[in-house]
Amino acid sequence: MKTIAVLLSIFSLLTSVHAQNEKSKAEIIVGNDGFPTGKATPEGAACDLVRAFINSDVDLLKKTCLLGYGSGKIGDKYNAFLNKIVAGTEEEKTRSAPHPKTPKAFGKVFAARFLTRNGPGSYGYAVHDFDDVMFVDIGAFLHDESRFLNRTLVVRIKGDWFVHPCPTIDTLLSVGLNEEADSTVDFKVKYTIAGPIGSGWAALESGDYSRAVEDFNEALRLNPESTNIAYRWRGRALAGAGDHKKAIADFSRVILDARVPVEIRANYILYRATSHQKNGDDSTAVSDFEAALKLRPESPAVLNDFAWLLATTPNKKIRDGVRSVTLATQAVKMLGSPSPSILDTLAASYAAKGEFKLAVKTQEKAIALSDTQIKRGELVKRLDLYKKNQPYVDVVD
């Protein structure tokens, strides 16, 4: 089993630094889906707009958008557009099945940014009395399982943030908006998530899995409706803590949730497969890997992890060096650049197939690329086996 040893002193230092960084961040409230909500932050307002479309929630849509903007022709255009999207949302609510091009779930929410040009902010302040003008990029999954990036202009008025759903009707407010570079900073980098769901996330990120499990348990106790995100994150924390039986139960809840996009569902099938493997149930793990591969046939993570199982399982009925080499080779191709972990898997696959010279050559490349002494030690141990014409067998501890 691939394991990473962590020195307690280093872990303690990293945890301390992480905690200090978390305290210096502003706090943000998230909804049951784990993404920002409310008028206190620009990200919250922008997410509520997307959330209104996801849930066909007309009341939320009206509360989130500016109810009036401008005067004359611009004001008329704004009101006409707002009435149009309200009517469209009301119509969507009556459909027996959602339109394939409407949003189904959040994918990623980026931190709000000011526009590069000064014009929109100055214009908004001088003409409309806005305190601030920013924009938020939100990645969403549509009901047809495609991805969509929504760029939303948000304005602050007397401390509250609102969405301007159609900034292009006033070019002075939106100049340069669509020319801005893609956002790269996740909102969780900028903020500390409020409540036990937030402290659980921070603990999960720092590797304090036991604490994370406790916090997610508390989040579920306080808000049973937060199942979608709490079960996702708690499952990962349980797996990190080595409690794979309970992790499998949480992953299964996520996988069976119809609201979860296919791409995310595939990730959690992969997590569950890994937990089955670490629980010593390689047969069930294979079934999950097959399911994940069907949903995401070009995912380097799925290809790599499945190849590792087929190459290193102690179950001779499951071990398949030929297919493992095929999967690992494809993982290398999909990744685009060599990775020590994937080359390690490819070397193990060659060894399982009996091609020990290729296994040695590939493992030496993995060692050369490895950037940690601990990881390099594991790679060298396997290299020594291949030099003796012995495959590596991953035995559950």
Q: Which residue has the tokens 């659980």?
A: 200
Is the pLDDT at 85 greater than 60? The verdict is yes
Is the pLDDT at 12 greater than 60? The verdict is no
Residues 184-206: what's their mean pLDDT? 95
Instruction: Please report whether residue 346 resides in a domain.
Output: no
Instruction: Please report whether residue 176 resides in a domain.
Output: yes
Instruction: Please report whether residue 174 resides in a domain.
Output: yes
What is the band of 226 on the pLDDT scale with cuts at 50, 70, 90? low
Q: What is the pTM of this model?
A: 0.84
Is the pLDDT at 78 greater than 50? The verdict is yes
- The pLDDT score that the predictor gives to residue 262 is 93
Instruction: Please report whether residue 381 resides in a domain.
Output: no
Check: CB of residue 40 under 8 Å from CB of residue 29: yes
Residue-wise pLDDT for 104-147, tens only, equals 999 999 999 999 988 888 999 999 999 999 999 999 999 999 99
Express as a percent the part of the chain with pLDDT over 70. Answer: 93
Check: CB of residue 370 under 8 Å from CB of residue 351: no
* Cα–Cα distance measured from residue 329 to residue 307, given in angstroms and rounded to the nearest whole number: 9
Angle at which helices 282-295 and 300-312 cross, to 10°: 150
* Cα–Cα distance measured from residue 125 to residue 199, given in angstroms and rounded to the nearest whole number: 37
Instruction: Please report whether residue 108 resides in a domain.
Output: yes
Convert 34-48 to b/e letters by CB count within 10 Å (16 or more is b): bbbbbbbbbbbbbbb
Question: What is the tally of structural domains in the chain?
Answer: 1
Torsion of CA 219, 220, 226, 228, to 10 degrees: 110
Tell me which residue range forms the domain holding 113: 30-189
- The pLDDT score that the predictor gives to residue 371 is 82
* Cα–Cα distance measured from residue 359 to residue 382, given in angstroms and rounded to the nearest whole number: 10
Is the pLDDT at 79 greater than 80? The verdict is yes
- The values of phi and psi at residue 61, to 5°, are -60, -45
**Helix spans in the chain (H):** 8-23, 42-54, 58-64, 72-94, 119-128, 171-174, 187-190, 195-206, 209-222, 227-240, 244-256, 262-278, 282-295, 300-312, 321-335, 340-353, 356-369, 373-387
Instruction: Please report whether residue 332 resides in a domain.
Output: no
Instruction: Please report whether residue 51 resides in a domain.
Output: yes
**Which residues, in sequence order, are CB contacts of 254 under 8 Å at separation 6+?**
228, 231, 232, 235, 260, 264, 265, 268
Task: State the CATH number of the domain containing residue 48.
Answer: 3.10.450.50
DSSP 8-state code for residue 133 = E
Instruction: Please report whether residue 322 resides in a domain.
Output: no
Is the pLDDT at 383 greater than 80? The verdict is yes
The residue count of the chain comes to: 397
* 199's tokens: 């402290």
- The pLDDT score that the predictor gives to residue 2 is 52
